[in-house]
């Protein structure tokens, strides 16, 4: 059983992880381990009952994080984690359902699931490990690859603009939206904890690094270089509000963008079941689920 | 872990204390992140790029290295009360 503290005074992050599978498969300097650590610290801080936590992921280097977490979970197909997670939440609304996804998994193949999940406001927490690239398949550009950055499939520089994932989520109706970065792991854990506490759909973008396929092609070959890049480019949202678009050029904002209370989907769904007159064993106009 | 011979050779005035920070070398991938971002510059790199705890007495138990190590290879014992992480 998971114990948040091991009694030695050391915070026992490792008790939440399947350390028998360590060292993990991520490359030297890959930021995914840092984001995973922040997620574990957020779960620890909230003292979530591990038996009530379910982790769902798709495919990609980021998605592999689910396999290192000592919770029940599902490692699903590429882009579909949110769809599986929605099913789990709908069947068992009392569970804490966490989706771990990459920027390709979420915003490319899984984009449609993402926008509609935001719109529905179902109480799941989605953490996107955004490393600006498809890491697992060796560096093709993703919808989050910066304009003019190099990628395997953009050898002369990328000509598309990336999404602002947080603006997208908020625009589609997500009720908790935040962005952090691997370089600021404590604040990232704060944002994730905020999302886990939140009742509706929570989206947390974690800016992280792929030194192997993004960094090397973009003159930042080491994890250290990319973390320094994050340190220099991150602007807290409060400060960004006082800056001009020119000053914000090439920067990214961090902080909580939205934290609103609105009707949560599974509660709405329960209301509809009641409205339809379903009563256990009663003379309802509606058949009992599963019959 | 400090080895005993080393601990014995230290001055009798300073109690041989285990440094608050420790590295699990078998998980370390020598990425250099802890070495680069430790605010107290506690680590040096060995020939292979793995951190060595060169200045343990400088460690302030801030845990930045623990939280930034992508490989969960660093752990820092907290000083007295747990600070807000
Ligand atoms: C249906 C389908 N299409 C394509 C793939 C190949 N594929 C595997 S992972 C991946 C993208 C991974 O990128 P991202 O989600 O950003 O995660 P990262 O590896 O960078 O952490 C792709 C395209 C697949 N597994 N399944
Ligand atoms: S390919 Fe990139 S994302 Fe995948 S493990 Fe390596 S550094 Fe991390
Ligand atoms: S941050 Fe971790 S993996 Fe990287 S050099 Fe330090 S101990 Fe090794």
Per-residue pLDDT of chain A (291 residues; tens, 9 = 90+): 344 444 433 358 999 999 999 999 999 999 999 999 999 999 999 999 999 999 999 999 999 999 999 999 999 999 999 999 999 999 999 999 999 999 999 999 999 999 999 999 999 999 999 999 999 999 999 999 999 999 999 999 999 999 999 999 999 999 999 999 999 999 999 999 999 999 999 999 999 999 999 999 999 999 999 999 999 999 999 999 999 999 999 999 999 999 999 999 999 999 999 999 866 555 545 555 554
Name the closest-CA residue to atom 4, ligand 3.
B31
Asked, for residue B4, whether it belongs to a domain, the answer is: no
Query: Is the peptide bond prior to A23 cis by the omega test (within 30 degrees of 0)?
Result: yes
Asked, for residue A3, whether it belongs to a domain, the answer is: no
Distance CA A117, CA A121 (A): 6
Name the closest-CA residue to atom 8, ligand 3.
B28
The boundaries of the domain holding residue B23 are 18-76
Asked, for residue A219, whether it belongs to a domain, the answer is: yes
The boundaries of the domain holding residue A228 are 26-276
Asked, for residue B47, whether it belongs to a domain, the answer is: yes
Asked, for residue B65, whether it belongs to a domain, the answer is: yes
Chain-chain contact of B75 with A10 (C-beta, under 8 angstroms): yes
Asked, for residue A183, whether it belongs to a domain, the answer is: yes
At B18 the pLDDT is 80
CATH number at residue B64: 3.30.70.20
Other Cβ atoms within 10 Å of A165 Cβ, number: 22
Asked, for residue B67, whether it belongs to a domain, the answer is: yes
Distance CA A114, CA A148 (A): 26
Chain B nearest-CA residue for A13: B72
Q: pTM score, two decimals? A: 0.91
Interface A:B, Cβ pairs < 8 A: 75
Q: Does B62 touch chain A (CB under 8 A)?
A: no
In the reported structure, the alpha carbon of residue B30 is separated from the centroid of ligand 3 by a whole-number distance in angstroms of 5
- Count of the separate structural domains present in chain A: 1
- Count of the separate structural domains present in chain B: 1
Asked, for residue B7, whether it belongs to a domain, the answer is: no
Asked, for residue A198, whether it belongs to a domain, the answer is: yes
Distance CA A115, CA A132 (A): 19
State the ipTM, two decimals: 0.91
Asked, for residue A146, whether it belongs to a domain, the answer is: yes
Mean pLDDT of B14-26: 83
């Amino acid at each position: 059983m998971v114990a948040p503290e091991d009694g030695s005074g050391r915070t026992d992050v490792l008790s939440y992880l399947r350390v028998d599978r360590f060292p993990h498969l991520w490359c030297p300097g890959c930021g995914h381990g840092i984001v995973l650590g922040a997620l574990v610290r957020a779960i620890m801080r909230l003292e979530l009952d591990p038996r009530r936590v379910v982790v769902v992921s798709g495919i990609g280097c980021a998605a592999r994080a689910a396999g290192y977490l000592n919770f029940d979970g599902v490692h699903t197909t590429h882009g579909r984690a949110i769809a599986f997670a929605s099913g789990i939440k709908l069947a068992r609304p009392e569970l804490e359902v966490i989706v771990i996804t990459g920027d390709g998994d979420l915003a490319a193949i899984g984009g449609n699931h993402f926008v509609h999940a935001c719109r529905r406001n179902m109480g799941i927490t989605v953490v996107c490990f955004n490393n600006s690239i498809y890491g697992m398949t060796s560096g093709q550009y993703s919808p989050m690859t910066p304009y003019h950055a190099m990628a395997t499939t953009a050898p002369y520089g990328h000509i598309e603009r990336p999404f602002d994932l947080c603006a997208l989520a908020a625009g589609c109706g997500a009720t908790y939206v935040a962005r952090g970065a691997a370089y600021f792991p404590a604040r990232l854990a704060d944002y994730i904890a905020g999302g886990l506490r939140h009742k509706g759909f929570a989206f947390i973008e974690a800016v992280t690094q792929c030194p192997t396929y993004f960094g090397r092609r973009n003159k930042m070959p080491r994890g250290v270089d990319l973390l320094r890049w994050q340190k220099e480019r991150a602007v807290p949202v409060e400060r960004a509000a006082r800056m001009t678009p020119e000053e914000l050029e090439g920067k990214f904002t961090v902080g909580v963008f939205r934290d609103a209370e609105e009707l949560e989907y599974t509660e709405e769904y329960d209301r509809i079941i009641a409205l339809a007159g379903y009563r256990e064993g009663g003379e309802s106009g509606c058949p009992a689920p599963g019959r | 872990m400090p080895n005993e011979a080393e601990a014995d050779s230290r001055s009798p005035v300073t109690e041989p204390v285990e440094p608050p920070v420790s590295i699990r070398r078998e998980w370390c991938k020598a990425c250099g992140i802890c070495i680069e971002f430790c605010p107290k510059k506690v680590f040096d790199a060995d020939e292979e790029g793995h951190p060595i705890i060169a200045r343990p007495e400088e460690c302030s138990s801030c845990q930045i290295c623990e939280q930034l190590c992508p490989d969960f290879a660093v752990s820092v014992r907290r000083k007295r009360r747990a600070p807000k992480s």
